[in-house]
Amino acid sequence: MKTFFSPAKVNLFLKVVNRRPDGYHNIASLFQTIDLFDELSIALDSQDSLTVSDPSIPCDETNLVLKAVNLFRRKTGLKFGVKANLNKQIPVQAGLGGGSGNAATTLWALNELCHFPATISQLADWSAEIGSDISFFFSQGTAYCTGRGEKVNNLPHPPSKTVWVIKPPQGLSTPEVYRNLNVSHLSSIHPEKDLNAFLDGKAPYFNDLETSAFRLMPALGELKQDLIARGFQTVLMTGSGSAFFCLGSGTPPKDKTLFCREVKFLNRHPDKWYNETIHHRATENSEKQ
Ligand code: C5P
């Protein structure tokens, strides 16, 4: 079995542009991978089997790992089975893109195990058939994404930043957060203005899904206020929640029911998966100790 790291992402800003006739929403968002990651161990085998460390996550065909296996077989016409184990660290229903990253990592791993029948850009295009946020992971870790999220513009790596990821025990359902959104309240500022301002270091961090999420889960709005009171300069929900990322020199709460993790921005080498950057960081850290 070979192990591939499957990172999480945060949305540094997320603008919802409009609701589409197909029920999805056009968004414009700056995505960034972080070094909070699941581990996918995978090998080719005679038939499919998947085990997951978290018993609350299904191991059947609804799991994005197996959806990605089926997609890869369908697109390439190759016939094989897989034996896979997913060791989860990324909380679910968090807006951290854990499942999407697992699907992208599976596609990358299969392409490697099958001796590269597809290009990276084909993997990214195919992946949009099984989820909106999967294509992003084939960028190098920083990208401006539009459409449903599947149109990906790779951006230069930003300076590495340390952020706290903090999530209450309750999660949020992405379709529910989008459904509950009041689209008549969305701003009409052109999203590229947000991107340019952000690249100049001027724009505020924002997420148009926060209001909807806080209406569905009022305790989430209270947690944000608490985190601001604890000294964090920026506290922003990622994706459709319920996790926040926090910037600045605040003190995270001691509450054991919260998921609290200090992480760094992560970017990958164009030809390598995220493993290499994560290994490199681990070696640097052990040398410092
Ligand atoms: O594409 P994905 O499976 O991640 O989307 C899950 C659900 O989230 C969709 O069925 C849709 O209800 C909502 N969604 C949306 N607009 C997006 C992405 C997701 O409305 N851009």
pLDDT tens-digit readout, 74-120 = 999 999 999 999 999 999 999 999 999 999 999 999 999 999 999 99
Collapsing DSSP to helix, strand or coil, 135 comes out as helix
- From atom 11 of ligand 1, which residue's Cα is the shortest distance away? 175
Phi/psi zone of residue 245: left (φ > 0), alpha (ψ -120 to 50 degrees), beta?
A: beta
Q: Residue 46 above 90 pLDDT?
A: yes
Tell which atom from ligand 1 comes closest to the C-alpha of 178: 20
Q: Please give the distance, rounded to the nearest whole angstrom, from the Cα atom of residue 174 to the centre of ligand 1.
A: 7
Q: Which residue, by CA, sits nearest to atom 20 of ligand 1?
A: 24
**Token pair belonging to 15:** 């603008």
Given pLDDT bands bounded at 50, 70 and 90, which one contains residue 288? Answer: confident
User: How large a percentage of the chain has pLDDT more than 90?
Assistant: 85
> What is the DSSP-derived secondary structure letter of residue 168?
-
pTM of the model: 0.96
What is the whole-number distance in angstroms between the Cα of residue 229 and the centre of ligand 1? Answer: 32
Tell how far the Cα of 137 is from the centroid of ligand 1, in angstroms: 17
| Residue 141 phi, psi (nearest 5) | 115, -10
pLDDT at 200: 84
Name the residue with tokens 């070094």.
Answer: 35
Considering only CA atoms, which residue is closest to atom 13 of ligand 1?
Answer: 175
Distance 1 CA to ligand 1 centre (A): 32
Active-site residue, 133 included:
yes
What residues does 12 pair with on adjacent strands?
Answer: none
Cα distance between residue 52 and residue 50, in whole Å: 7
* Distance from chain centroid for Cα 246: 16
207 bridge partner residues: 14
Active site residue 9: yes
Amino acid, res. 248: G
Q: How many CB atoms lie within 10 A of CB 105?
A: 28
Share of the chain above pLDDT 70, in %: 99
For residue 120, what pLDDT is reported?
Answer: 98
Nearest CA to ligand 1 atom 21: 148
Between the CA of 106 and the centroid of ligand 1 the distance, in Å, is 20
Backbone phi, psi, residue 122, to 5°: -65, -45
Task: With cut-offs at 50, 70 and 90, classify the pLDDT of residue 5.
Answer: very high
Distance CA 277, CA 103 (A): 19
Ligand 1 pocket test target in 174, 207, 212 with most atoms within 8 Å of CB:
174
Q: Which of 216, 236, 228 is nearest to 165 (CA)?
A: 236
Give the whole-angstrom CA distance, residue 154 versus residue 114: 26
pLDDT at 192: 87
Cα 252–Cα 258–Cα 264 angle in degrees, nearest 5: 55
pLDDT of residue 187: 80
The residue annotated as part of the active site, out of 133, 167, 208, 224, is 133
Binding-site residues, ligand 1, Cβ < 6 A:
23-25, 27, 131-133, 148-149, 174-175, 178
| DSSP structure class, residue 93 | S
Atom of ligand 1 nearest to the CA of 27: 21
For the stretch 257-280, pLDDT in tens is 999 999 999 999 999 999 988 888
CB crowding 228-266: b at 16 or more within 10 Å, else e:
eebebebbbbbbbbbbbbbbeebebeeeeebbebebebb
pLDDT(202) > 80: no
DSSP assigned state of 110: H
Q: What is the pLDDT of residue 129?
A: 98
Q: How many whole angstroms separate alpha carbon 104 and alpha carbon 71?
A: 11
Cα of 279 from ligand 1 centre, angstroms:
33
Tell me the one-letter amino acid at 93: Q
Ligand 1 atom showing the smallest separation from residue 16 Cα:
21
